[in-house]
Structure 1
């Protein structure tokens, strides 16, 4: 995977971000979700690199990027901090403006990027999410059962870290199976990369902090920006066999938060780029080529 890409590690001043970069053309940043790494883009990135300079980054706390200890207010894993990481990475690579697509947690970082750094983001795509504030404001029994980890991972005193750490491979594989509709579509090399990263106790802690931030400081930031809309063109992709589709009108939800929305449901579960790589490639290529 990523044979034509170079691997780099960039110091942002706060953390070091691991990434792979390849291709030529306009810069396109790809951000992964939980509990994965940048490797989740393996079926899409090499083909996008035919027309774009593709940057696949590990978010802070994930993969081979730095994993700082969580602060008392969880600010070190706020989406604001994660978004700023990516701006600094892209500036280091020579790009003052760029396109960005984010899946799951990476989509939440993308949302914050669009709000905090509007002049840096030319076009954006979010995959299989609705805004964090919307989820917490409208959670019902179905959402809290399907996405129970939102409430498990935010528990204090190292409780989830200790429990996940007893068998991280099982925990990760359960998540992949629970949220996918086309389970045969996970490449063994990708699953191995996710397991290797997730066996690190620092990664388990960091990913818990990601969710703790979502339930605290991220909500404060989101509430302050409820009247602020994403100004750039936004592509919304979601799985027609996933929890988001079952519980939300996904495009309508994003039209409340963005001025220019293109929306497309895809016949798969949560892990869109791995379950339906060609459909994902087609949607992203057409949208980002404009």
Structure 2
């Protein structure tokens, strides 16, 4: 484990292996530990960097602003670009799950000369998901709309019993809590009990519903040039509510992907399948 200071905060990360660099970014409400079943296999072929996003885990939690810019995906992506520079990786492969996929998308846009290929797990683009909201999506992803309400309302509600909230949020999918190894679950709960993490993660979602969409709109018709691999759970919300490949083709030129036979937490539910997909895609 090590900490890397960026211009905006401090990022906690773990690195290992050898070969081309591969940056792995986790989702909500987890940490870099999400990759614990996948990273050892990937480290046989790549120099793996697994980092806690700002606001999550043991990374820094900067003060926010009225427009939530410190938790924009642009700010979070800038952290990761600086992390990879500090570690000596000027160019790298990139993969992200959930929120980490959204950070990775912005990283690939803002630092296009550095990302060689990009993979996402179980997301469609943020702007397109909000604009395609249906009743079924809103019911399934209720937390998207709860977390963006003004502070401190969701913070107080979650903070009253963070363990119960975490277990409800993450255990309500098709696989329940079975994807989570006991040690990993204990680490997620340890981190999420921190009121600063609860607040920062709400800010992540508030940014997504506002300034992140403004940044997406400012891109105009620009699309990612690099290859993008999209993987999602056959038994999850992306499969039932969105056409992931069609939506990503609005944002990237070279898109491939498929559904895997699992739910949302693919790296923990289907680690061998995810590792194999990454190895075939990244080469």
| TM-score (norm: length of structure 1) | 0.96
Q: Matches of 2:48 and 2:174 in 1, distance apart?
A: 25
Matched, 1:255 2:255: no
What is the DSSP-based 3-state SS (H/G/I as helix, E as strand, rest coil) of the residue aligned with 1:122? strand
Show CA shifts across 1:105-138 (max 9, x none). 0000011011111001000001100001001111
Which structure 2 residues correspond to residues 190-205 of structure 1 after superposition, within 5 A?
Answer: 190-205=184-199
Q: Matches of 1:225 and 1:181 in 2, distance apart?
A: 37
Contact 1:180 1:271 in 2 (8 A): no
What is the DSSP-based 3-state SS (H/G/I as helix, E as strand, rest coil) of the residue aligned with 2:200? helix
Match of 1:121 among 106, 115, 121: 115
| TM-score (norm: length of structure 2) | 0.98
Q: Matches of 1:169 and 1:183 in 2, distance apart?
A: 13
Q: Matches of 2:12 and 2:174 in 1, distance apart?
A: 26
Given the superposition, is the C-alpha separation of residues 68 and 46 from structure 1 closer, same or farther in structure 2, using an over 3 Å criterion? Answer: same
What is the DSSP-based 3-state SS (H/G/I as helix, E as strand, rest coil) of the residue aligned with 2:70? helix
Q: Which residue of structure 2 lines up, in the alignment, with residue 148 of structure 1?
A: 142
Aligned residues: 283
Q: Which residue of structure 2 lines up, in the alignment, with residue 10 of structure 1?
A: 4
Q: Matches of 1:30 and 1:98 in 2, distance apart?
A: 11
Per-residue deviation at 1:85?
0.3
Which residues of structure 2 form unaligned runs of 5+?
A: none
Q: Which residue of structure 1 lines up, in the alignment, with residue 230 of structure 2?
A: 236
Q: Matches of 1:64 and 1:188 in 2, distance apart?
A: 19
Q: Matches of 2:198 and 2:226 in 1, distance apart?
A: 34
What is the DSSP-based 3-state SS (H/G/I as helix, E as strand, rest coil) of the residue aligned with 1:155? coil
Q: Matches of 2:59 and 2:42 in 1, distance apart?
A: 23
Q: Matches of 1:157 and 1:87 in 2, distance apart?
A: 29
What is the DSSP-based 3-state SS (H/G/I as helix, E as strand, rest coil) of the residue aligned with 1:231? strand
Show CA shifts across 1:184-223 (max 9, x none). 2210111101000000000000000000000110010011
Matched, 1:160 2:168: no
List structure 1 runs of 4+ shifted beyond 6 angstroms. Answer: none
Q: Matches of 2:151 and 2:53 in 1, distance apart?
A: 24
Contact 2:230 2:255 in 1 (8 A): yes
Matched, 1:26 2:39: no
Q: Matches of 1:226 and 1:242 in 2, distance apart?
A: 30
Contact 1:182 1:269 in 2 (8 A): no
Match of 1:93 among 87, 90, 95: 87
Q: Which residue of structure 2 lines up, in the alignment, with residue 4 of structure 1?
A: none
Q: Matches of 1:180 and 1:170 in 2, distance apart?
A: 18
What is the DSSP-based 3-state SS (H/G/I as helix, E as strand, rest coil) of the residue aligned with 1:184? coil
Q: Matches of 2:126 and 2:191 in 1, distance apart?
A: 25
Which residues of structure 1 form unaligned runs of 5+?
A: 1-6
Q: Matches of 1:273 and 1:154 in 2, distance apart?
A: 26
Matched, 1:208 2:202: yes
Q: CA RMSD in A?
A: 0.9
Contact 1:77 1:210 in 2 (8 A): yes
Per-residue deviation at 1:181?
2.6
Q: Which residue of structure 2 lines up, in the alignment, with residue 223 of structure 1?
A: 217
Q: Matches of 1:18 and 1:132 in 2, distance apart?
A: 25
What is the DSSP-based 3-state SS (H/G/I as helix, E as strand, rest coil) of the residue aligned with 1:18? strand
